[in-house]
């Protein structure tokens, strides 16, 4: 579902559950954040989230691992520790159940890698396979990381390359090279656990994971909640192998246009950035990296724990505006 439709259908829920009536719900429907946070006491809060989707790759095991890593990422984006997860499964009656077995194995091994446990699940019959998790974690209420909080002068770090959306779309169209798909799969299967630890060590002011709304959509959410602006430098962005080439071939998922339609009003491109590269920045990601706002003096501390992180921009005064500069 696109961001505009999502905002529309959630309106009645926000009227029913008013934030002032639930003081222990630290993060809920009133803000566009990565997971809900509910305070148990002064030292502990529950972090909970869910995510599931149809296959983005052909291999069942890899699909399960990717879907799990994607769901777990929301816990990391809030600064939490994974406790347990519940499987969410939709699967056709006429499909070999050994495929589902491999999907579940991939998801389970990723949850185990995160330090959590699969505690149960629910399945329904559907024409198309779908898999994901409902994940519960724990966080110190004083240490919750949200999308809001970025401050002018902070540097913006991204911990994974971009381009998953076009690589997986190219795979569906039969034009992706095997080695490019393998690199994208490795990226999607990589947990954001180490990146979250780096953000904690570097005292990041704000962070989110880059998924369905693409880099620019999620960046706007961060900038809007923090009442600041973001400035990105196109030349600083890292792309997965083959991603730009597949973009040139038109391998864009449908979510790209929806993201542009909804978030485009807040984004300005300067220096005659080619339309291709603009579209790449609107493209949805799956199990993407963490986008973090870090004080300049703490960037080295971040990179000590996460050497894949690159500086892609900075935080400037504003109120949700995004500027993309072609030449730094």
DSSP assignment of 133-169 equals EEEEEEE-GGG---S----TTPEEEE-S-B-HHHHHH
Polymer length in residues for the chain: 328
The structure tokens 């779309």 sit at: 169
| C-alpha dihedral sign at 189, 310, 314, 140 | positive
What pLDDT does residue 30 have?
84
- Helices 275-282 and 214-226, packing angle to 10 deg: 70
In which element (H, E) is residue 324 found? Answer: strand 322-325
Q: Which of 125, 129, 145 is nearest to 137 (CA)?
A: 145
What pLDDT does residue 31 have?
82
What pLDDT does residue 328 have?
57
- Give the contacts of 74 (CB within 8 A, at least 6 positions apart): 34, 35, 47, 49, 51, 135, 209
Secondary-structure breakdown of the chain: helix, strand, coil percentages, each rounded to the nearest 5? 40, 25, 35
Query: CA-CA distance, 115 to 69, in Å (whole number)?
Result: 12
CB 194 within 8 A of CB 305: yes
Q: Which of 65, 77, 62 is nearest to 111 (CA)?
A: 65
Domains of the chain: 3-143 (3.30.1330.10), 155-325 (3.90.650.10)
- Give the contacts of 30 (CB within 8 A, at least 6 positions apart): 14, 19
Query: CA-CA distance, 209 to 267, in Å (whole number)?
Result: 19
CA dihedral 176, 179, 181, 185 (to 10 degrees): 180
Per-residue tens of pLDDT for the chain, all 328 residues: 778 888 889 889 888 998 899 999 999 988 888 999 999 999 999 999 999 999 999 999 999 999 999 999 999 999 999 999 999 999 999 999 999 999 999 999 999 999 999 999 999 999 999 999 999 999 999 999 999 999 999 999 999 999 999 999 999 999 999 999 999 999 999 999 999 999 999 999 999 999 999 999 999 999 999 999 999 999 999 999 999 999 999 999 999 999 999 999 999 999 899 999 999 999 999 999 999 999 999 999 999 999 999 999 999 999 999 999 986 5
- Give the C-alpha distances (Å, rounded to integers) separating 228 from 79, 147, 217, 234, 301: 21, 12, 15, 20, 24
């Amino acid at each position: 579902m696109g961001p505009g439709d999502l905002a529309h259908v959630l309106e009645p829920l926000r009227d029913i559950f008013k934030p002032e009536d639930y003081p222990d719900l630290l993060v809920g429907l009133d803000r566009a954040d990565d997971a809900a946070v509910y305070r148990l006491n002064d030292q502990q809060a529950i972090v909970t989230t869910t995510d599931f989707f149809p296959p983005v790759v052909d291999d069942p095991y890899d699909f399960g691992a990717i879907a799990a890593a994607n769901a777990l990422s929301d816990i990391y984006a809030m600064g939490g520790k994974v406790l347990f997860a519940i499987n969410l499964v939709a699967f056709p009656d006429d499909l070999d159940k050994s495929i589902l077995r491999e999907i579940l194995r991939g998801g389970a091994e990723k949850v185990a890698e995160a330090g959590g446990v699969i505690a149960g699940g629910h399945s329904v019959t559907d024409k198309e396979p779908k898999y994901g998790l409902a994940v519960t974690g724990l966080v110190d209420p004083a240490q919750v990381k949200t999308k809001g909080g970025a401050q002018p002068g902070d540097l913006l770090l991204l911990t994974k390359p971009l381009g998953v959306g076009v690589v997986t779309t190219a795979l569906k169209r039969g034009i992706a090279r095997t080695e490019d798909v393998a690199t994208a799969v490795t990226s999607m299967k990589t947990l954001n656990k180490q990146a979250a630890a780096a953000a904690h060590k570097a005292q990041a002011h704000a962070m989110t994971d880059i998924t369905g709304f693409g880099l620019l959509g999620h960046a706007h959410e961060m900038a809007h909640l923090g009442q600041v602006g973001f400035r990105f430098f196109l030349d600083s962005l890292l792309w997965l192998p083959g991603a730009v080439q597949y973009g040139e071939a038109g391998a864009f998922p449908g979510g790209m246009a929806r993201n542009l339609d909804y978030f485009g009003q807040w984004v300005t491109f300067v220096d005659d950035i080619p339309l291709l590269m603009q579209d790449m920045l609107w493209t949805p990601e799956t199990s993407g990296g963490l986008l973090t706002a870090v004080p300049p003096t703490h960037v080295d501390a971040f990179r000590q724990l996460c050497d894949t992180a690159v500086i892609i921009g900075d935080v400037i005064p504003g109120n949700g505006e995004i500027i993309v500069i072609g030449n730094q």
